[in-house]
Structure 1
Amino acid sequence: MTPAVATSSETRAIELGATFRTSRTGLVTGIRFYKGPLNTGLHYGSLWNSAGTRLARVAFANETASGWQTAVLSPPVRLTEATDYVVSYNAPVGRYSFTTAFYTQAWSSGYLTAPATRNGLYRFGSGTAVPNRTDNSTNYFVDVVFSPAA
């Protein structure tokens, strides 16, 4: 899946995220985001619990000019089923990718579900706090790499 808009016109630093839950206990082994060609600078991914506490932070390295970027978490983070989490990344110069009106219904893939309500999160700034605002159910194309428990 690719975004409808590869590069936004926004140039302020912004933390972009999505709320999700898992139907099975497992591990987040990485964080991914879709990068448009003008989304430059050092990017960091974060995993947060529903109370807004950061569980992990990782720097993206060896990024390509555009497309999906992945950073590996070391150590992986264990998730509990039926619990809400937020995954996010910081775009230090804006220029992020997006699709508006994406979360008009819940979206599921494997054991993960992103709810339609209050999803597509953002917060202007350097990424020191969990994103907590929404706008038009927008998907900012950030997600986790998840491995269910055996």
Structure 2
Amino acid sequence: MISQTLTILKDCGLLKFEQSNLYYPTIPELPLLNSFLKDAGLDETVLGIALNITSPHSSMPIHIDTGDLNWSLNVPLMNCDSSRVSFYESKQRPKPFSLPNGVTYLGFEDEKSMVCMDSVSCEDVMIINVKKPHKVVNESDKYRVTLLIRLNSSFSMEDFEEYLSYA
């Protein structure tokens, strides 16, 4: 599934390696991924699909995603073995920021005061709660590419865990 998705995205010219970026391109048909989403009962919960490209030796700010989503199914596509997502706790109130491409997120003024609660390798497919403060760190010499399948508010982690127990 990952190999086919990567090949299709490369063939369509959607992987641009100029700088770190989060964007929502028009995604072509991804047969194996779509089949997985349908089998897992996730096809009706997909709010949108984004690409996250992280520059070598960089990280994004600690943030909370905006929009009508709590969860994101993150699919590693390229060079994710030397990257991680870290989750934080803070008493700070987040405030809105915008990326140069207009994507908004809720960030924090004083990241140094935030406490890292957990850090997970990005080399495997994972579902993360994007309403918890988090950031991605790419320690690789290469651009890191992840497909983010944004799940709408009807997604149930409990139902998905039940699916996994039978899969």
Scaled to the shorter chain, the TM-score interval is 0.3 to 0.5
Greater RCO (Cα-Cα under 8 Å, separation 6 or more): 1
Q: Which structure has the larger Rg?
A: 2
Q: Normalized against structure 1, the TM-score is what? A: 0.32
- The structure with the largest strand share of the pair is 1
Kindly indicate which of the two structures has a greater share of residues assigned to helix.
2
